[in-house]
Structure 1
Amino acid sequence: MGTTNIEVVIAVLFGSLILALIGVFMFVMVIFYQKRKIKTIREQQRLIAQYEQAVLKAKVEIREETLKYVGQELHDNVGQVLSLIKLYLSRPGTQPKTDVKQLIDQAITDIRLLSHDLNINRVEQYSLSDFIEQELNKVHKAGLVKTSFENTGFCEPSNIQNRLMISRIFQECINNILKHAEAKHIFVKLVAENDGCILSIADDGVGFETDSTFTGAGLINIYDRVNLIRGNIKIDSSSNGGGTHIQLRIPQD
């Protein structure tokens, strides 16, 4: 009997110990799960805040680009037309009234177009393809570089914030070409696919060594924004004059 009682006590103690260990293990697992959940929530909040900050920065940059373009157009085009009108009016009888009227009509048209471009929210109002076409028209109008645009299928991110980010990525790529590539032609393609779209930007400029340029602020901004929209970008270039080809894969949102 004594031996049996001892065995029962040992079994009870052993069972209690096992239950206690299981309880401690479950408690530790709950604490670990809660900490991991809190860490995940904080990481999600950090990514959301980073994304919202990037969207705001892109919006400000697009606004600055637009104002810069409008200021240049006012100075180079509208300003010259108004100066000619002033010159004609200061010399009555030297020019037919029809010439002055045509200049006034031209000034009105240019101002109306600038007013259209001054709409900062045009990224939200127009499709991605329309925005790309308008930006390329600006470059072509400047007469420095020829442009071509091929649009295949329907590629339109439904998320306005993603569209804004993609538009800014496109602007930065074009600005880099204009500043550094010494290109004569820019080729742009927007192609729809089953799992998203591909935006290709190529030029026939001098190119660059990608390994030594990836640390530049412009490319860092591009890569950061591509990651935020969960896209993928590939840049092929070399300094031997073969130009540069950029391929941005835009996922479905």
Structure 2
Amino acid sequence: MDSVESQVYIIIFSTLFLGGIMSTFVISMVFIHRQRQAQNQQKLDHIKSEHEKTLLNIENEIQQETLTHIGRELHDNIGQLLSLAKLNFGSIKPEKQEEGKNILSQAIQEVRGLSKQLNLDWVESISINEFVAQQLTKIQNTGFCETTLEAEFDLVDLPKDQKLVLIRVIQESLNNAIKHASPDHLKIEMRSIDGKRQILIKDDGKGFDSTQKSNGSGMYNLKKRMETIGGGFDLTSVVGKGTEINLTLPN
């Protein structure tokens, strides 16, 4: 009888012991799962915060770029139109007076066009294709270099965050080419390669050794900005043979 009781006690103890181990294991797994959930939520909150911060910085930079452009236009273009109108109005000839009115009307249209750029509403109404075409036309009109646009697709109905990032990255890439590359030709290609939409920004300028680590943060910032929208940024350059920037768009 003692032997039977001992076996029963052993079985009960073993059952309780195993139950305790299983309970401890389950509680530990639940605790670990909740910890991971909390960590993942923190990561998501951080990513969201960084994304919003990046977009805010980009909006500010685009506004600054726009104000700089408006300042140049007011001085170089509209200022000259108003001076020319004044000269024509100073004449007693009817044809000069009429020409002055036409020039003044042109200046008013230019001012209205610039006023629309003072906020970011224009971002909503313009496609990336239109924006790229406008940027290249501005560059070519300055006489700085020749420009070409080749597009296999139209980028329309992009989410605002993707559009803002693309606009700023393209702006900065073109600015860098103008400032540092001294190219004879700037070319932008919008192509579908292996099922991925890409924007290629090419120049035939000075180029540089892209294998050497740069002291600046410009290229790194552009790469990080493309990553915030799920895209990619790749740069290749050869001394004396120009630079190519490849922007891979998010799916």
Fold shared by both chains (TM-score > 0.5):
yes
Letter in 1 for 2:228: L
CA contact (8 A) 1:88 1:94 kept: no
Partners of 1:78 and 1:47 in 2: CA distance: 44
Per the TM alignment, residue 86 of structure 1 is displaced from its structure 2 partner at its CA by 2.6
Match of 2:159 in 1: 159
Q: Deviation of residue 90 (structure 1)?
A: 4.4
Moved beyond 6 Å, runs of 4+: none
1:149 corresponds to: 149
Distance 2:125 2:193 in 1: 23
Q: Aligned partners of 1:105, 1:13: CA distance in 2, in Å?
A: 99
Name the aligned partner's letter for residue 219 of structure 2. Answer: L
User: How far did residue 113 of structure 1 move?
Assistant: 3.3
CA distance in 2, matches of 1:64, 1:199: 24
| 1:92 Cα offset (Å) | 4.6
Letter in structure 1 aligned against 2:73: E
RMSD, aligned α-carbons: 2.1
The alpha-carbon deviation at position 91 of structure 1 amounts to 5.6
Q: Give the aligned partner of residue 131 of structure 1.
A: 131
Change (3 A) 1:154 1:104: closer
Structure 2 Cα separation of the partners of residues 141 and 113 of structure 1: 18
- Shift of residue 191, structure 1, vs aligned partner: 2.3
**Does residue 183 of structure 2 align to residue 183 of structure 1?**
yes
Q: Which residue of 2 aligns with 1:101?
A: 101
User: Equivalents in 1 of 2:209, 2:31: separation in Å?
Assistant: 50
1:204 aligned partner, one-letter code: D
Counterpart of 1:52 in 2: which secondary structure?
Answer: helix
Identity across the alignment (%) = 30
Contact residue 177 and residue 203 of structure 2 kept, 8 A: yes
Contact 2:131 2:167 in 1 (8 A): yes
Amino acid paired to 1:160: K
- 5 Å-filtered alignment, 1:43-62, equals 43-62=43-62
Q: Partner of 1:241 in structure 2?
A: 240
Rounded Cα–Cα distance in structure 1 between residues aligned with 2:124 and 2:214: 30
Equivalent residues, number: 251
Aligned partners of 1:206 and 1:243 also within 8 Å:
yes
Q: Which letter does structure 2 place at the counterpart of 1:37?
A: Q
1:84 matched to 2:84:
yes
Structure 2 residue aligned with 1:35: 35
Q: Which moved more, 1:34-43 or 1:155-164?
A: 155-164
**Cα shift readout 1:182-221 (whole Å, capped 9, x = no counterpart):** 1121100112468541111000110122234545222121
- Partner amino acid, structure 1, of 2:161: Q
| Distance in 1 of aligned mates of 2:160 and 2:244 | 26
Work out the CA distance in 2 between the residues paired with 1:104 and 1:213. Answer: 52
Which deviations, in whole Å up to 9, do the C-alpha atoms of 1:100-159 show, x marking residues without a partner? 234223323432332344452212211111121122222222221221111112333532
- 1:76 match: secondary structure: helix
2: CA distance, partners of 1:251 / 1:164: 14
Q: CA separation in 1, counterparts of 2:133 and 2:244?
A: 18
5+ residue gaps, structure 2: none
Distance across 2 between alignment mates of 1:86 and 1:213: 55
Q: Distance in 2 between matches of 1:213 and 1:107?
A: 48
Q: Give distance in 2, aligned partners of 1:88 and 1:232.
A: 54
Aligned to 2:120, the other structure's residue is in SS state: coil
Indicate how the Cα distance of structure 1 residues 242 and 192 shifts in structure 2: closer, same or farther if over 3 A, else same: same
Question: Closer, same or farther in 2 for the Cα pair 1:17/1:215, shift >3 Å?
Answer: farther
Gaps of 5+ in 1: none
CA separation of 1:213/1:75 partners in 2, compared to 1, >3 Å: closer, same or farther? Answer: farther
Post-superposition offset of 1:235:
0.8
